[in-house]
Amino acid sequence: MAMQPGFGMYAPQQLGSQHALPGGGPRLQLPSLGGHAALGLPPTTLPQGGAFPQPLGSPLPAPMPYSAFLARANGGQFIGQQLGTPRGPCQLSAPVAAAAYGPYLGQPLQPLGQQPVQGMGGGVVKTADGQMRFQGGSLGRNGPTPTLSFGNQMGTLGNYAADVETMQENQICEQLGRTRFPSMAVAGPQAPSLPSGGALDGLLLEPGCARDLLARYPEVFRSEPPSEAGRKPHASGTFHGFNPGSYARKIFSPDAICRALRAADALWGGAPNVMRLMVPPRGRLVIVGDTHGQLEDVLWLFFKYGPPSAENQYLFNGDIVDRGGHALEILLLLLALKRDEPSCVHIIRGNHEDQTACTTFGFKAEIDSKFGLEGAGGWIFHLLTTQFFPLLPIGAVVSDVGGGFSAVVLHGGVPVRCPGLNGIVSIDNHINRVDRKQVTVQKQLNQRSVDDHILFNLLWADPAGPGENPAAGAGAGGRGNSYTEQETADFCSINRMRCVIRSHQVPKDGKGYEYHHNGRCITVFSASNYCGSQGNQGAVLLCAGDTYAQQGPRPSEHMAPAWPQLASVLAAVSFDAPQAERQLAASRAEANIHTPMGAVNSLSVQGPHQAPQWPQQQQQQKQQQQQQQQKLAPGLSALQQIEQFAAEQIVRHKRVLFVELASRDPQHHSIMPMAVWQACMAKILPEVPPVWQDLARQWELPAMVQYVEFLHRFQIVEQLSSSSSATHTDVFKAMGQLRIVISDIAAHDLLASADGDFNGSVSLEEFQGFLQAWKIQIPVWQAAAVYEGLVWSLKNQPNVEDILLAVALISRSGETGKNEVDANGINWQDVAKGVGETIMRASGGGSLVGFFRSCDVDRDGFLSPDELLAKLGDMLPRMGKQYTEEQLRTLVQHMDSQGVQNDRVSLIEFLRALGPRSLARELAGALLREVLKPIYFYRMMLEAYFQRFDPGSNNMVTVAQFQQGLQEMNRQLVADGGTELSEYQLQAVVEIASGNQPQVHYRAFLRALRVVDTVKRAGLVSLGQHSLWSFFASK
């Protein structure tokens, strides 16, 4: 294995040596490698006893760090003293250490002994300070047994990606739970004119045609792209090949969809909260978990296990919508099937079948992308979220005819510790009496009733793992209350159930199902390779009429092919083919999809002897293989999902990161070794999965990390096409209103106060102290942003003169920054900037501050008009710039106008007038990005808030309503320990979002905010330009 500079120390391994694991575990036999192995271990100081004993004759250093074991096998649970993180110490079993060590050595280690894992519950936990963090053992909630192949981190990364999703949902739910939503009543929307004439409208609406609609789906959607909601969460719901102009024409029209939805009340309006379902004695019932808009999984299930019928029933356990791009088609297909045969399909409501959830996580985006942002799309979304979803039952009891085995199916699980609830939740006395026809997350936590808490936890709660404190688990608070094994047993006992069947989570071991609580709780998840990043199998639970009473539900897994392969299989073998033929075709297809190392083989359902392929067929097969590879590249997609999350956290905590990184750089070189950088990142961002080495490779960081450039590359950008640079400039002027007091201060006083320790450079702390000393009113976080922008522009730590230049540029008011054009058409602002550039060139790399001081003949800290005229009149002609004396006097008056107009020019006024445009733009951008930061991190709450004013889902609110939402965000900012935005800053946001119009397209504005890696973005733009140039050059 090649050594990788910058990724830590290298430890040569002696052949056949043995090493004991920390904590007294069994010893490992290192395989013969015939060379050295790069371990990539950060050189950390180990606590006492935290080292491998040096084996006899080994060249290994003593002590030897074992961070790699902890980082890879234990979810980043480093020993606390190593990195100063809140994670505590742990023990490692031989299998876990072997899995961690193996990838570094290129082949697996063989444990010499086995011992049970102790205290290794995993996943995301909430610490005492209320933060979500990764704790050890996150390879599995029930212990750290690794699921990845040696040398292949796909399983680990998929687990981490799932944990990231859990954490994000938890944070969103917590924000919504404390939001004070507007209580005003808003009139319901009016139905718009709905177009008709979709190609599949007849099959959707005509009774008896549901099976024909099912048969048409595979070919209609053959060319659809796979879901990539993992690495592109901002695009969730839009992974399809249609637009508002084509969807209504080629698939379903808005008129047909709304007519189909009217049947929902007849099908579910009178249904109880908890359905009582009997497994067909001569058939079976198939329990389906989350599908999340992945229509290919639903079609594959209907093919593999047979289409729905009275003897082959399907129970969908919620979360049909969000993430993927085909939730609408799934819902409409299930509606049509149930209309034709009511007993063949049953649906339970999931936590995503909720107006707020599917506004946030992709279903709203799916509807908008198929029907447009206004009009018909908004009406369809309104009907689905306010009339269809609330009708769906919230549970089911599945029993055999004789009552020998009964299981309750709930989307999330058992409601426990609900405020106001005494005792154990009863299906008949509690769940069946809940008002289910309401939203579940769009309510303030302290205003929820007992029924509200029961409903929320039914849909959102997760089972607690072994030894996990349910009060601190991933589901605590935001995602509901985690329920323990004892609570599951009590619930089953009082309700006479054998087990609880639930969905809601991707199983941690890469399977499509998972057993919890000694088998009394079963998770089933049906979206295979969830979001294109998890790499998981999908699964269903088969309840067979002849075995259910004795054996209960039996799990069966699948991996749905990508669209082209799926269409090819279903073209060769129909849904109505005999079961044996379908099973054989499905087995062959899945065997060709997923090999142990994730490779993809060509798919064939025709047998070994195939007809010769024409070029068009070869191209089609190549396209199919590429799409299949894209579907089954979960390792890379999961890492990209984690990468995006890490970028967001870097932006969120950039100031704290800068302080920490700078503290490890006492010489102020703005550069540090990779190992130090990793340690700092892990310390400040414990919520990010411990894959910093992988992220460093993704970001192509060198062995010595230039940390200022690194932090600066991650920015919030706003991509509204209606926004203009002029609007941004005006916004900056409003934000940059600093006290006029510094405009008329002597230069030597300012210079002396900017450098507290007189070492020539100015640290962030000194910069903030300087601002406070001169009563410059700018929030701490904005001061850090300005400092970052300055350091980025200079590529070094700023000196005193740089700081004064920055303060001058950001303290311009709207008056001092205006363009001044005289009667002759001369723009004196442009002239002044040009003179500033000339001075910089004439001084051979000197500074504007130095020029100012050279002009100050009387050393009073100010420049008189005569001092300036003498110096400029001598220097400018030598640089080829000719101005009349009258023009020079006008230029001096322009400088004096930049602050206090008193016939003398202060240093600040001089710098304001002559400072470089490029630095002014950089500092303006830094301030603007900081103002948009809280908007970005509270965008989901804001979207739910504005939805209250927008019952028709047209994505528009008035400016006053938009301002009301910003005030609620400000309230939460303060409650979370942040700094509220000032009136100037709030007005800046309103101007950007509204474009000075009376209404705000709030969804477009919020969705236009992105955290981007500017380095990668620039690289993609450059690549695109190069490709375009190559294309035209070839013509």
Residue numbers annotated as active site: 352
Report the alpha-carbon distance of residue 784 to residue 771 in Å, rounded: 11
Q: Amino acid letter at 114? A: Q
- Three-class secondary structure of residue 221 per DSSP: coil
Six-digit token string for 738: 């600093």
Question: CB–CB of 1032/744 below 8 Å?
Answer: no
Structure tokens at 457: 């936890």
**Alpha-carbon distances of 708 from 648, 654, 655, 863, rounded to whole Å:** 17, 10, 11, 36
- Residues sharing a CB contact under 8 Å with residue 197, sequence separation 6 or more, in sequence order: 248, 249, 253
Cβ-based burial of 550 (10 A; exposed 0-12, middle 13-18, buried ≥19): exposed
With a CB cutoff of 8 Å and minimum separation 6, the contacts of 614 are: none
What DSSP assignment string belongs to 574-596?
A: -TTS-HHHHHHHHHHHHHHH--T
Phi, psi of 28 (to 5 degrees): -110, 140
Query: How do 312-316 and 284-288 pair as beta strands?
Result: parallel
**Strand partners of residue 485:** none
Q: How far lies 169's CA from each of 478, 534, 940, 977, 1005, in Å?
A: 7, 17, 10, 21, 21
Q: Which residues contact 611 (CB under 8 A, 6 or more apart)?
A: none
Instruction: Report the alpha-carbon angle 60-63-67, nearest 5.
Output: 95
Distances (CA, A) of 435 to 185, 287, 348, 445: 21, 25, 15, 17
3-state secondary structure of 416: coil
CB atoms within 10 A of CB 772: 13
Residue type, 510: G
Measured between alpha carbons, how far is 492 from 426 in angstroms, rounded to an integer? 10
CB 119 within 8 A of CB 100: no
DSSP assignment of 678-724 = HHHHHHH-TTS-S-HHHHHHHTT--SEE-HHHHHHTEEEEE--TT--
